[in-house]
A and B are shown apart, each in its own frame.
Chain A
Amino acid sequence: MKRRDVIIGVVLALFLAGIISMFASPWPDDLEKVAENHGFLEKGEGEPPIKSPVPDYAWPGLKNEKLATSIAGIAGTLVVFGLGYGIAFILKRKNHKTK
């Protein structure tokens, strides 16, 4: 892939996670709704075994909810882009070594 294609792809993902995410539906998702309707939602509300740095896609310390979502989305997109690319790069290199 050309560098230009990669940049277009990442910018599109950043646009979705950074801008469009502010207009996402705030309604509970499928499983949350089923849990709510059938009375087991509280089972999932105990203390989690690990502390997440950015719980619920809200960047900590920001009062503006939309901005907190946007920043969290941008950060998350960059992290997973790096992870996906990095893992692929390592697997590709491993392949060269074995051949």
Chain B
Amino acid sequence: MHIPDGFLALNTWLPTWVVSVGGIGYCVRKTSQLLKEKVVPLMGIMSAFIFAAQMLNFPVVGGTSGHLLGGVLAAILLGPYAGAIVLSVVLTAQCLIFQDGGLTALGANIFNMSIVGTMGGYLIYKGIYKLLKGKSGMLVATAISAWLSVILASSVCAVELAISGTIPLSVALPAMASIHALIGVGETVITCLVISFVFSVRPDLIYGEEQLA
């Protein structure tokens, strides 16, 4: 769902740029207060892993492909703030180096995937985990939040396209949300596999595990 240049009007890309700069600025402040020494290399690894995974488009349906977003994955391991920074690093590199997502649309892409997909996804995860608890509770929370994060991010993308006058919301929202309901299944499977693997080998690497468990 990387938006290229030209899809968004000034009335949409400018405000989303402003909100994203503010949001990521806040994440930078929070991360510099909360970051633990052992998480420093993990931020590099997660950036590399999410970048790599986003290159791996899988076929979905009817000649359409999708790939991992990775927001919930990053947030469960790094916390919502460092997770959002990682997604923003990946999105910025994709935009500047690989022309994947436009420069004018970078603010919107960061808003959709780092702020809504990653921080919003983490809020959902945390809410469900608090209710269910335990390892199975964590996996259920991971599955639901991963799936919803993709749908939410793509729905916000549809709203932005509509505000820009590119496509009516009544068309964009069902089109984007329905395809992401399927892509979200891939998101859920990959996120759950990685999280349960990390949980079995290095449970200490899961963010806030000591407070939540």
Contacts and interface: CB of A to CB of B under 8 A. Distances in A.
Interface of A: 1, 5-6, 9-10, 12-14, 16-17, 20-21, 24-31, 33-35, 37-38, 40, 43-46, 48-50, 52-57, 69, 72-73, 76-89, 91-92, 94-95, 98
Q: How large is the interface on B (under 10, 10 to 19, 20 to 34, 35 or more residues)?
A: 35 or more
A30 B43 contact: no
A99 B85 CA distance: 22
Given A31-B2, A37-B175, A80-B89, A49 B64 contact: no
B56 A84 contact: no
Nearest to A3: B41
Most chain A CB neighbours (cut-off 10 Å) among B55, B57, B166:
B55
The dominant DSSP class at the A interface is helix
Contacts of A38: 167, 171-172, 175
Contacts, number: 209
B175 A88 contact: no
Contact of B97 (A6, A21, A54): A54
B100 to A, nearest CB: 7
A87 B65 CA distance: 32
B52 A14 contact: yes
Given A24-B55, A33-B63, A77-B48, A88 B4 contact: no
B39 interface: yes
